[in-house]
Amino acid sequence: MSQIFYPSTNTFSRLSIFGGIFIVAFLVWAWAELNESTYATRAKVPIQQPVPFSHEHHVGGLGIDCRYCHTSVENSSFANIPPTKTCMNCHSQIWNRAPMLEPVRESFRNDSSIRWIRVHDLPDYVYFNHSIHVAKGVGCTTCHGQVNKMPLMWQENSLQMSWCLDCHRHPERFVRPRSQVFSVNWQPPPNQVDMGRKLVKEYNIQSLTSCSTCHR
């Protein structure tokens, strides 16, 4: 009977064993990377809206406070998407003929909503409350990034659970004085951790990491 395998098969089979391990390891690694990539999380991707509203212009340029539009952020779980009437407070007077703002005027005339696209969309199984975070010294920009530099809004962070837990496990690394919560230019000082520890004590910030804190 003739040989079915050549001696070189030995080398090949040895290589295939090691190769198999590396291929499996590579696939696991690639999958983990993909899961955390901006492709999967949609972070840093500017979202096209029906009206190209610019936070850069309104917040950075004009200096409008976050709460002028997001009115309920201090006392509700939901920060609020402003109604068209809020836009019209100003835009009935200025830029009131700009073609770009026609959808806003149309919405005002017809008493219909502008269909804004939600940028920060948490899964439905997650409970999140803006008011408690704001009250305990978590600044807007800590999660939402520097919106005063975003011509179109994008999601700054991954919104993955590990990202939530980074802060819930170590709040001292992220908290700021309450007076600075709505400041868009605030940067953590060099002694953030020392200051953070003091604030954690002062504001009685609990490191809540049990499942039912968020998954109720």
Interface positions with other proteins (CB under 8 A): 4-5, 9-10, 13, 28, 32, 35-36, 158, 160-166
**Which residue, 5 or 190, is less far from other proteins as judged by CB?**
5
Q: How far is the CB of 191 from other proteins (least distance, A)?
A: 26
Supply 179's token pair: 């007076």
* Phi, psi torsion values for 89, nearest 5 degrees: -50, -45
**Which amino acid belongs to residue 194?**
D
The beta strand positions in the chain, using DSSP E, are none
**Which residue, 18 or 97, is less far from other proteins as judged by CB?**
18
**Which residue, 27 or 117, is less far from other proteins as judged by CB?**
27
**Which residue, 146 or 160, is less far from other proteins as judged by CB?**
160
Identify the burial level of 177 via C-beta atoms within 10 angstroms of its C-beta, where 0-12 means exposed, 13-18 middle and 19 or more buried: middle
Q: How far is the CB of 214 from other proteins (least distance, A)?
A: 11
Q: How far is the CB of 135 from other proteins (least distance, A)?
A: 24
Give the whole-angstrom CA distance, residue 95 versus residue 97.
5
Q: How far is the CB of 21 from other proteins (least distance, A)?
A: 14
At a CB cut-off of 8 Å and minimum separation 6, what does 196 contact? 171, 172, 173, 174, 175
